Amino acid sequence: MSKLVSFPTSLPSNPIPNDTNAAEVVASFVSRLVNLEPQDFKNDAVWRDTFALTGTSRTFYTSSTITAAWHETTKRSKAGSFIVDDKGTCTIRSPFGPHWIQSRFSFETDAVPQTICTGLITLVLTADSEWRIWTLRTILEQLKGQPNVDILVSVNGTTKLTNGYSEECHFDCIVIGGGQAGLSQGGRLKALGISYVVLDKYQEVGDNWKLRYGSARLHTPREYSHLPFERTFGPKYQEWLTKDDLAEGFRQWAAKYDLNIWTRTTVLFGSWDSNRKKWTLRIKREGEDEQSITSSFIVLAGGAGGQIPKMPEFPDRQKFEGLVLHSAEYKDATDWKGKRGVVVGTANTGHDVVDDMVEAGLSSVTMIQRGRTYILPAEYYKKTADVFYNATVPTELGDRESLTQPMAIVDLLSQCTLHSMADAERQRFDNLEAAGFKLDRYGSIMHHLYNRMGGHYIDVGTSAKISKRLIKIKTSTPTSYTEAGILFDDGTELDADVIVFATGFEGNMRYLVRDIFGEEIAEQMGDFWGLDEEGEIKGAWKGTGHPAMWYHGGTIGQQRFYSRFIALQIKAKMMGLPLVVYDKTP
């Protein structure tokens, strides 16, 4: 069961009359944001703060808790100058039920550091016909007197990427990892005037995608997939970006904004000097001598999943005469025509691989499924994403609307919408089940993304091939290898010539801390990913144990958006005015 269902909140159930003056309703609430009381909130209201008032990311539930935390944080930060954004006020009537009024507002804080912030407020009619706050969101935008973290002037693509070492050996911040997370982070740091270097093990920017298996692509829409400061992928790109599309876009973006990236660079080990407050990294570039570099801050930009494959161990591997590999080693199925292919795992990558096998002409293709799999048709997902990410809505606005919403609310809204879509296409899912696929048609995409870090399939076409019996399904649990294939717990055996394990990767970046910096630093750091007791993602984008190290990863949209908050935290520390964390729960 999803952890998200345990949080005390719900969707509004009362309709909003057509003659409601939304602007008047909003104005009456924003005018009293300085001194909110419990009766201003729906009983099961939610407030999520993203570094504006709590110095971190926090979610508060119920009217009494929210009010107490709101009073304490607005008082200590000296929050004021709350102003409604009239253009951001609208009434939302969902075709699937919930109605609410939503508006954006701005405010400032005059404590240290002084900041500029924005917020979103939603108002609903309760059973007693009174307007009350359903959700409240507050977002740190800028540090007063500092550059804008959301603006970086391009160099029109004329600058050659830095693929070697400069004479500089000390930086304010070192970013480890040069994929979409590392690129986004480097850009944000540069926007704030922070000296930095991005270290990447690959030969070229974009190789983290370019070197994946041939059919690899994003399972999220193009407009969701940009890097900061611009629309990286214009109309010339297809809706579902391929690995080569992503590699090209990343490479061009890095050149356009003249990022300081050292490619072909391996981090050998690192250490922290608590007296000097400095990190030292020992690095090795291909073809060069080892070098030491130092920094005040480290960002571990491991991206969406990590690098260590999860490879199940079964007895008698030496007996099997065929080929066994993890999806991390997989490129394509073209050399396997006429062979018997087996894929262990039924999430996105597993579906991609069996699809490749069918297209390559293998004599038989079988998926081994151990538990039920949530199937989310890509067109369903696109309909929900298109509300926030499209050619007319600025990406930075879509991020604020989408990515700052409390997780429990997103879960309720997405299930309401996606489950209704699934109900309208029952036959589609019935056909999958008839083919032997163990299906979860009413799953939670939020649970899979933020608790499990995967395990679902966004259907870009392979489910139809399963329904047509082009791909067989085996639902028993493997117990050992045989000479001809795999033995299962029900006593059956499946013959195979090639077995691909699409069983995912280690997602907790704490292992990376341990590998590079040792056990002592790893013990200081918390875990990365999964939901905490408030519905926030553990360890992501905020202080999590060590005062000079951050984890950065997640979906491509989160990597783009939350890179700004890591950069703002670092800038505030460099100013000697660190964001003060509010860690109480009233």
Higher-pLDDT residue of 158 and 577 is 577
**Helices 395-403 and 556-574, packing angle to 10 deg:** 90
- Residues 405-419 have a mean pLDDT of 95
Q: For residue range 351-407, what is the model confidence (pLDDT) as tens digits?
A: 999 999 999 999 999 999 999 999 999 999 999 999 999 999 999 999 999 999 999
For residue 414, the Cα-to-chain-centroid distance in whole angstroms is 16
What pLDDT is attached to residue 164?
47
Is the CB of residue 464 less than 8 Å from the CB of residue 428?
Answer: no
- Does the structure show a pLDDT above 90 at 233? yes
- Does the structure show a pLDDT above 90 at 328? yes
Distances in whole angstroms, Cα of residue 486 to Cα of each of 2, 106, 302 = 32, 61, 34
- Does the structure show a pLDDT above 80 at 491? yes
Can you tell me the distance from the alpha carbon of 26 to that of 86, in angstroms, rounded to the nearest whole number? 9
Band the pLDDT of 5: cuts 50, 70, 90. Answer: confident
Q: For residue range 120-129, what is the model confidence (pLDDT) as tens digits?
A: 999 999 999 9
- Does the structure show a pLDDT above 50 at 159? no
Rg of the Cα trace of the chain? 25
Report the percentage of the chain scoring pLDDT > 90. Answer: 92
Q: For residue range 167-214, what is the model confidence (pLDDT) as tens digits?
A: 569 999 999 999 999 999 999 999 999 999 999 999 999 999 999 999
Count the neighbouring beta carbons within 10 Å of the beta carbon of residue 264: 18
When mean pLDDT is compared across 44-58, 175-189, 305-319, 523-537, the lowest value belongs to 305-319
What pLDDT is attached to residue 158?
43
Distances in whole angstroms, Cα of residue 340 to Cα of each of 346, 363, 408, 506 = 18, 6, 44, 28
Domain ranges of the chain: 3-143, 170-307+507-574, 317-501
Of 365, 542, 570, the closest CA to residue 470 belongs to 365
Count the neighbouring beta carbons within 10 Å of the beta carbon of residue 83: 12
- Does the structure show a pLDDT above 90 at 64? yes
The pair of three-digit structure tokens given for residue 331, joined into one six-digit string: 């490129």
Q: For residue range 127-154, what is the model confidence (pLDDT) as tens digits?
A: 999 999 999 999 999 999 999 999 999 9
- Does the structure show a pLDDT above 60 at 96? yes
CATH code, 3-143: 3.10.450.50
Count the neighbouring beta carbons within 10 Å of the beta carbon of residue 325: 14
**CATH of region 170-307+507-574, choose from 3.30.420.10, 3.50.50.60, 3.30.9.10, 3.40.1190.20:** 3.50.50.60
Whether the model clears a pTM of 0.85, i.e. scores above it, the answer is: yes
Q: For residue range 278-315, what is the model confidence (pLDDT) as tens digits?
A: 999 999 999 999 999 999 999 999 866 567 899 999 99
- Does the structure show a pLDDT above 90 at 1? no
What pLDDT is attached to residue 161?
46
Largest CA distance in the chain: 75
Band the pLDDT of 166: cuts 50, 70, 90. Answer: low
- Does the structure show a pLDDT above 50 at 104? yes
Is the CB of residue 376 less than 8 Å from the CB of residue 457?
Answer: yes
Mean pLDDT of all residues belonging to the chain: 95
Fold (topology level) of 317-501: FAD/NAD(P)-binding domain (3.50.50)
What pLDDT is attached to residue 167?
55
- Does the structure show a pLDDT above 80 at 160? no
Is the CB of residue 365 less than 8 Å from the CB of residue 354?
Answer: yes
Report the percentage of the chain scoring pLDDT > 70. Answer: 97
- Does the structure show a pLDDT above 50 at 253? yes
